Amino acid sequence: MDIIRRNNVHTFGDGGGAPIVFAHGFGCDQNMWRFVAPAFAAAHRVVLFDHVGAGQSDSSAYDRRKYATLDGYATDVLEICHALELSRVILVGHSVSAMIGVLAAKREPGLFTALVLVGPSPRYINDDGYHGGFSTQDIEGLLTSLDSNYLGWSSTMAPVIMGNADRPELGAELTNSFCRTDPEIAAHFARVTFFSDNRRDLAAVRTPVLVLQCADDVIAPQAVGEYVHAQMPASRLVMMKATGHCPNLSAPQETIEAIQTFIRSLP
């Protein structure tokens, strides 16, 4: 299969810096980076794509066995990088794509110069000594609601995930993005995401890492960002002024500046 078509890959920019690959979160597509990615085009080759089942990707390529874990998505990221003959990649992963990036970097560390993890969570469910933000019952209830009425779930949950109640247009955009996703694929991806546990993968990544943690993030609370930072040997944690789970939409300039500062600090 044509990987570029499968994942609706787009590239732009011709700077001499390391290529930057932007990976979107659950229920989203590459359009969620439209306020951030162009700021890097002058100095970098910018790569945008849609996970299979999202945006304008080829949904016929969706295989429930392949995507039964986040490793299937990590495989796609690696295949995109190889198809474009990229090296020294900086991967910017939002939400679940933060852990997809961790898995990709763990498998092929030589491919990546750095990772930027925006609102990462290696495990969403609380465990002994670990606060992920949700109980197992919380997640089961969330997924039951999603399965029974995906559009209703989207209109209720998207504004909560986005935060920024004083800017309802942001919640509306995320709702619309959720509603454009195939419900069956979304339900499967949600189950894979919310029951994932990538805590043991963090320490294996020696690549420089930037963790961007928002305030009042109901999906990835501050304790989770601090945990990711503590577990990754070469990480730095930036506490953002932005609130909610999607600073790429709610605070793009702060997001851009944090990433640019990090890139300038790289060897």
Q: Where are the domains of the chain?
A: 3-124+198-265
pLDDT greater than 90 at residue 267: no
% the chain with pLDDT above 90: 88
> In 3D, which of 76, 124, 130 has the Cα closest to residue 103?
76
User: What pLDDT is recorded for position 198?
Assistant: 98
User: What pLDDT is recorded for position 16?
Assistant: 85
Cα–Cα distances in angstroms (integers) from residue 92 to residues 171, 182, 206, 224, 246, in the given order = 22, 24, 16, 18, 13
Cα–Cα distances in angstroms (integers) from residue 145 to residues 29, 68, 158, 184, 191, in the given order = 22, 20, 13, 13, 12
Mean model confidence pLDDT for the chain: 95
The pTM score is 0.96
Do 118 and 93 touch, CB atoms closer than 8 A? yes
> In 3D, which of 207, 21, 178, 229 has the Cα closest to residue 102?
207
Q: How many CB atoms lie within 10 A of CB 173?
A: 18
What CATH number matches the domain at 3-124+198-265, 1.10.287.3510, 3.40.640.10, 3.30.420.40, 3.40.50.1820? 3.40.50.1820
CA atoms within 13 A on the CB side of 94: 32
18 phi-psi bin (left φ>0, alpha ψ -120 to 50, beta other): beta
pLDDT average, residue stretch 60-89: 97
6-16 burial code (b ≥16 CB/10 A, e <16) = bbbbebebeee
User: What pLDDT is recorded for position 26?
Assistant: 94
pLDDT greater than 80 at residue 1: no
Give helix 150-162 / helix 168-179 axis angle, nearest 10°.
Answer: 140
Question: Model confidence at 179, in pLDDT bands (50, 70, 90)?
Answer: confident
Cα–Cα distances in angstroms (integers) from residue 61 to residues 66, 67, 139, 185, in the given order = 10, 10, 27, 11
Least confident of 21-30, 150-159, 187-196: 150-159
| Chain segment 180-205, per-residue pLDDT in tens | 888 899 999 999 999 999 999 999 99
Give the residue numbers annotated as catalytic, written as ranges. Answer: 95, 217, 245
